[in-house]
């Protein structure tokens, strides 16, 4: 990084923050979070919100710093990320719609399982968020102020995501078991739609690349 006079890049910060919030969708995550954690106790729900945010933050920062090298080393394309993330979300959506709990492996801690997959990734740290941060890092270049602007935007976006999940517990108390069940079905439909968008984006990306060759 170059030792240039430090000037916080407000434009890059706002652009990155708004892009991440649109992609990660704090409001849309609330019903999905409640659907996936509705059968957990309140302390475990709080733990799931905290762990999901931490997992997502770690993944996105890792890709911000090493994203290009990771993808090149593993020979993974962005379109492949979209496809795999879409398939995983679609499987979770089917579990929610069919009322099965098999989407959560039985390892003794449901909060941890849900926090890792699908909340932490690919719902929060999905292909869209990863690519958005990698693009922002590219815009920052070697500027220290640019990097700090991007990382600050990533951190603030995750604070917003944590708050949306953490305070969704109040909504859970208001809805009760019947309301949560209804929300679960709606969440399944929403997740299926998101998964379809990811899969189609990956497919069209592969087609566009094939035509360009």
Summarised one tens digit per residue, pLDDT across range 156-175 is 999 999 999 998 878 777 77
Average pLDDT over all residues of the chain? 81
pTM for the complete prediction?
0.72
Residues 160, 21: contact at Cβ < 8 Å?
A: yes
206 vs 91: CA distance, rounded Å? 22
In the prediction, which pLDDT does 104 show? 42
Delimit the domains of the chain by residue range: 44-207
- Quote the pLDDT of residue 152: 95
Tens digits of residue pLDDT in 54-106: 999 999 999 998 887 887 888 877 778 778 777 877 877 787 788 654 444 44
pLDDT of 108 above 50: no
Tokens 């299926």 belong to: 192
Whole-angstrom distance, CA of residue 103 vs CA of residue 152: 33
Contacts of 82 (CB under 8 A, 6+ apart): 127, 198, 199, 201, 202, 205
pLDDT at 40: 83
Q: Which residue has the tokens 């709080």?
A: 46
Tokens of 211: 């035509």
Q: What does the pLDDT read at residue 49?
A: 93
Q: Residue 20 pLDDT more than 80? A: yes
Per-residue pLDDT at 106:
42
Given a contact cutoff of 8 angstroms between Cβ atoms, the answer to whether 20 and 133 are in contact is yes
pLDDT at residue 52 greater than cutoff 90:
yes
Rg over alpha carbons for the chain, rounded to the nearest Å, is 18
How far is it, in rounded angstroms, from Cα 197 to Cα 183? 21
Per-residue pLDDT at 17: 93
**CB-based contacts of 73: which residues, under 8 Å, 6+ apart?**
none
């Amino acid at each position: 990084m170059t030792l240039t006079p430090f000037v916080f890049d407000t434009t890059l910060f706002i652009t990155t923050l708004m892009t991440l919030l649109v992609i990660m969708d704090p409001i849309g995550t609330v019903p999905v979070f409640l659907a996936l954690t509705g059968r957990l106790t309140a302390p475990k729900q709080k733990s799931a919100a905290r762990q999901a945010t931490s997992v997502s933050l770690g993944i996105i920062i890792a890709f911000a710093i090493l994203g290009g090298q990771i993808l090149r080393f593993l020979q993974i394309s962005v379109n492949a990320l979209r496809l795999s993330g879409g398939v995983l979300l679609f499987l979770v959506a089917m579990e929610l719609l069919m009322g099965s709990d098999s989407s959560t492996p039985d390892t003794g801690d449901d909060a941890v399982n849900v926090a890792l997959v699908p909340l932490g990734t690919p719902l929060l740290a999905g292909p869209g968020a990863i690519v958005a941060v990698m693009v922002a890092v590219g815009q920052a270049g070697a500027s220290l102020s640019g990097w700090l602007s991007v990382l600050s935007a990533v951190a603030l976006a995750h604070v917003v995501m944590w708050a949306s999940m953490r305070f969704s517990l109040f909504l859970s108390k208001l809805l009760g078991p019947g309301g949560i069940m209804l929300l679960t079905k709606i969440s399944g439909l929403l997740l299926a739609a998101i998964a379809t968008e990811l899969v189609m984006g990956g497919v069209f990306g592969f087609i566009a690349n094939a035509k360009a060759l």
